Amino acid sequence: MLVDDSKFRRKEQWAVEYPIVAVCREENMEQLKYAVTSEVVADVMFAPIEASVAKRRIEIYIKKMN
């Protein structure tokens, strides 16, 4: 079920201020569709997550925020 993210954004201002990464299963098109169309999600990672990929992306986001 897709969630109305407009309600989420109004209630949770931090969701707009900080990058949110959606973790989706590649075969789950509903999860992927929501992540791509949501204005809250900044990036998408596919499960299972590899530690090296997660570490690299986290470092990039930390650099952007500083």
Q: When comparing pLDDT for 30 and 38, which is higher?
A: 30
User: In angstroms, rounded to a whole number, what is the distance separating the alpha carbons of residues 45 and 17?
Assistant: 19
pTM confidence score: 0.62
Q: What pLDDT is attached to residue 1? A: 42
In angstroms, what CA-CA distances link 35 with 21, 28, 38?
9, 11, 5
For residue 55, name the pLDDT band (cuts at 50, 70, 90): very high
DSSP, collapsed to helix, strand or coil, labels residue 18 as coil
The C-alpha torsion from 13 through 34 and 19 to 56, rounded to 10°, is 160
Residue range 25-53: mean pLDDT, rounded: 89
